Every structure is written in structure tokens, then in C-alpha cells.
Amino acid sequence: MRGQPSVGGAAGSCPGRDKRRLACAIEGVTLTIHVVASGSSARRTSGTRAKDSDRNATCQILDTALSEGQLSMAEHGERVKAATSAATLGELQSLVSDLQTAAPQLVVPGVRKRVLPGMAPGWGIRAAIAGVLVLLGVAIGWGLYGNTPSPLNFTSDPGAKSDGIPAKVLTPPRQLHSLGGLNGLIEQMKQRFGDSEGYSLTIYPDYASLERPDPADERRILRYTYRGGWGDPSTSAKDDRDVLVDLGKFDVEAIVGVMRGAPETLGINPADVDNMYLSIDPGSDVTAPPGAIDLTVYVSSEFGGGYIELNADGTVKQINYPSN
């Protein structure tokens, strides 16, 4: 063999001159030639059984092809898996035949290391390749989603990565029996429905109920509840008392003033009030112009209740005092 050292003297003697034990005579150093590219001698054909060194050399070519952009990550992984399990040189050659590779080189391994019992030759290279693929996947994931100093720092999850979106604090009207609350509620109607029209609007201290026409069926009404926003409606049949009016067309400041004095107006101790609400409905006065509305402030306690009927400008139509 070309490059084979002489075996004369004590260092070159082997019992029975068995060539297979030549490695013993040269203190464990062996010169070998690894041929991976096409073209082989008569002793190395496509059907020749592959060695671990052949498989490792093929994996190195595949790694180079990946770094040069000849292979994608998926293709590289598939070919490396096939190379590590290839049985013949022909199988290895088929994995690199379409790649641009350098000419075959003379490989001179160093002293062979002992293989621990139970470990197949070449296991270290395979483990290293698997480790590289895992680390590459971690690095890619960190690059896309990570918000830590390094891909190996797992102190924070991807959801904590800063996205630059400022917080949006919602401030819908909640105290509806105030000047700002009533004006805010009417504005919420206009934003949600495009106007403040409807059949009826009942306003409690912190929520409201609105009845509007059903645009899909004129025989029905839609009933919405407001709690910081208008929820999904329920439906019911329309009757003759349901007249469409502008429910926001009244003197808000005057009505708020009457509401705040309503308990004393009705002779009810404010500390005893357990419920108060404002009801806005189509006007009941047949002499009033079309579109007129009536507003009624209801106040109740465990000792009785009463109500105040108002015009849209806040003037009093009637006071119904508690019966007791």
C-alpha cells in the first residue's frame, strides 16, 4: 500500500506475519485513504461496505454544503440521517453526487482511541451532529422570539418580549346620574348606533337599558344593556306604544339637578334610598309636538317610593309623593 511504513526490526515484527495485525507492529498508527468522491479502485466499489470514517467524511461534506447554501436545513437533516445509517459506499456517494465538493483528500488519522464497551464506532460524531442541530434550532428560536441576553437564558418566556404597543386604558362613563355620565352615555349611543334614537331609555346609577328598532324586522324591537359598552341585544315584539323619538334631546344639566334633589323633593331620607333611576320615553301629551319626550325620576326605599315627571327642558309636569 502506498505510504505504508516498513516493518523491520522489533518494532516491525508480528507473530506469524499476519498483515491484519500490522497496526500492532507500528504502535497503533495506521495510514488510511478515505475516498468519498466518485471513482474508486477495484477494491472500493459502490457495493463496498462503508466504514464509520466514510460516513463521517460524508457528513462533513453535507455540513459544508449547508453552510454554503447548497442544502436547506431540512435537506441537510435528511441526508445526515441517511449517511449515518448507510451500509455501502454507493449509498454515501448518492448523498453527495449532486453537490459541489472539493477533490478527495488524503486523511491521516492519529492514534486510534479505545472504544468503550457497548458503544458503536462513530457514536461521538453522530452525537456531535445531533447536538449542533439542537443548538442551531435553539438559536433560531431565540432570534425570532427571545428577549433574553442569550439563547441559553430561559429566565423569560417569549410572551414577555417587548412589542412597543402602548397600554390603552378604557374610560367609559360609569356614574351615569352625573352631568358627565349622562352626556357620556348619549355619546356612547351615537358612537354605537349612529344616533340617539329609540323607543325607551332607562338609566340606573351604573348601567342602562335601551330599546331600539330592529332593522331586519319592523315588528320587533332590540333591547340593549349598557355596562361600560353596549352588549348583544335581546328581542321582543313591538306594540303601539313604541314610538321612535330622540332619547338624547333634553336639558341634561337641568335633569341632573332635579335627580340630585329628588329624594328630598319626595320627602325620602337620602340615607334610606335603595334605588333611583331615570326613565326616558315618548311623550304622552297629545297636544305636544311630534317627537316630544317625557322624563321620569323614580326614587324608592323600604319605607315607600315616589316619582317626578319632567319635560325635556327640566320643568316639572307632576310629582307623585310616597303614599305613606
Q: Report CA-CA distances (Å) from 181 to 202, 208, 280.
A: 14, 11, 15
Predicted model pTM: 0.52
CA 24 centroid distance within chain:
63
Q: Using CA atoms, how far apart are residues 275 and 302, in angstroms rounded to an integer?
A: 10
Report, as an integer, the average pLDDT of 202-225: 95
Is the pLDDT score of 107 beyond 60? no
Q: Using CA atoms, how far apart are residues 200 and 212, in angstroms rounded to an integer?
A: 8
| The predicted structure's pLDDT at residue 13 | 42
Q: Using CA atoms, how far apart are residues 262 and 268, in angstroms rounded to an integer?
A: 8
More confident position, 207 or 40:
207
Short-list 104, 81, 85, 1, CA closest to 43: 1
The per-residue pLDDT for range 136-170, each reduced to its tens digit, is 776 676 565 555 555 555 555 666 677 788 888 88
Is the pLDDT score of 247 beyond 90? yes
Report, as an integer, the average pLDDT of 163-184: 90
Task: State the Rg of the chain over Cα.
Answer: 45
Q: Which helix (H) or strand (E) holds 210?
A: strand 208-213
Q: Which helix (H) or strand (E) holds 278?
A: strand 273-282
Q: 107 burial class (0-12, 13-18, 19+ CB within 10 angstroms)?
A: middle
b/e string for 153-185 if b means 16 or more Cβ within 10 A?
A: eeeeeeeeeeeeeeeeeeeebeebbbeebbebb
The per-residue pLDDT for range 248-304, each reduced to its tens digit, is 999 999 999 999 999 999 999 999 999 999 999 999 999 999 999 999 999 999 889
